[in-house]
Structure 1
Amino acid sequence: MSNYLLHPPAKRTFLAPQISQPLQSIAMRLDRWLDYESGHAWCESAYKYQTISVVAEFANTVTNLPLIMLPLLNVLLIKPYIETVNCIVIMPHILLTVNGIASTYYHATLNLFGQLIDEISILWLLMMCLAAYFPVFSFYPQQYHKYIGRVRCAIAIITMVVSTFCFVKPSLNALVLMLWSIPSIAIIRHEAANAGIPEIINSPRKISVLWIAASICWVSDRVFCDFWLFLESNYLICSNNTAVTISGTPYFHALFHLLSSLAAYNVFIMFSLIDICRRSDKHRYRYRIKYFPEKGLIRLPYIVLNLDCKYL
């Protein structure tokens, strides 16, 4: 294998113009943020640049495709509802797509700028989900609906303040964001149980299983990377003197991307249905849930909207 494939491309630097000390300082700071591998490297970086010479972590990069495409699919399927009833529900979908793009850039370069954009976009995604769907939460008091605008402004301000803390200790951002999934799961379970929608009764169980599996993959990659790489060694079976190779895997984070994208997509399906049902007095749509494929262990649910026949 050529040395070109085993080593990262030439370091990309900013040439600071000899104008003033402040400009040089800014250029040096940008250089540090945009340097290849200035951010946190995942287990796959043990084989960095070997698949494509300009992509650090190939599997971690390409597995962001579902994060980019699945929310856009749901937007297309409920587009009439978004256009005529509640346009703000498009925002969480767009932010998940933005997060997928940011994560793609981060894993391709492993620079600190990509890491921060990836993590901050997750923070904004969580807060935007709260801002978009809290008016239809079962525990939100109906008499306070006139304050929805103020609550959303408060959420935006809090998110901006919290975003600044992401720059203080970037190595802790991912752990804090993972911990936020605990109250999120609690809200999902509560809303599904109180929505009165038969189609989403099993959604919390499915989402929880996917997210727990994704979290195990995330921890395995971040904490036990050395163990998985150790399994690359050759082991000799002494009983029959046969040499066997046990291959380790550095791809748990890539699997985390796939599982978390399925969990997030199911969350969007669930809350889209809750929003459609809770606002039934404002529209004339009827929904159906279909699956692709129709049979199988792993099936993607999708929403089919139709106008109620009595309004045709």
Structure 2
Amino acid sequence: MTQLPPLPDLILEPLIRAALMEDLGTYGDITTRTVIPAGTRYRAQLRARAPGVVSGMQIAEIAFGLVDPQLKVSCHCPDGSTIAAGDLLMEIEGSAASILSGERVALNFAGRLSGIATLTAAFVAEAAGTDTRITCTRKTTPGLRLVEKQAVLHGGGFNHRFSLSDAILIKDNHIAVAGGIRPVLRAVKAGASHMIRTEIEVDRLDQLAEVLDEGGADVVLLDNMDTPTLREAVAMAAGRITLEASGNMRLERIAEVAATGVDYISSGALTHSAQTLDLGLDF
């Protein structure tokens, strides 16, 4: 699917190190220390047991390297590769004890992230032939947002904001508390930096009309609208503003929603409902 330059290892290492420390506990891998003779060397192969799009190979490599820098790790399918069941993704050679100690963390990350990339690729395929882009949301696993959003990119999708400080996103509750669409948009025009983009959520066409009339927003989030209403919204906007369809964006709806002409479809399901891709490490 989409192969990207890797993230700096320095950014990823604290996350992976924390996962390894959680798994190794206070005394390390007592099973391996007990049953594997010291100095035993082995070669292990990480293979796909199901088709999909791979993500998390960089993380798996870092995980094995943190356990034992002497391990030789060879990646055969970089992140973003489309894979088939049985494909060889990675080989790890060196201390058998080290491989066994890093196995679970490497597989947890790679399986989870490959599942996200695979589901994203399915959404992207449904929008093929249109200009609509598929994007994720902030509905990510706490602490894993960076790597889960990277997995969305590996699947051919796009990223929404990473945090509350990335952009102004005015939701229905903001509108309710602030007193309406015009007050919030006027507050943005009066106080927001010229470097910050603004998105506002609407769930009715009369609200969209108000946004178009008032100005001050770069993007309108069309929330929980049915397909005919989305089509009307696209006609109303007439290219004057970026439109994002969100809410109830199931895989089976993507093709018809993309056909309405919206610019983006955002779905929390990409990260919160992706099924882990079945990967296995075999000696």
Q: TM-score, normalised by structure 1?
A: 0.23
Higher relative CO (CA 8 A, sep ≥ 6), structure 1 or 2? 2
Structure having the larger proportion of residues in helix: 1
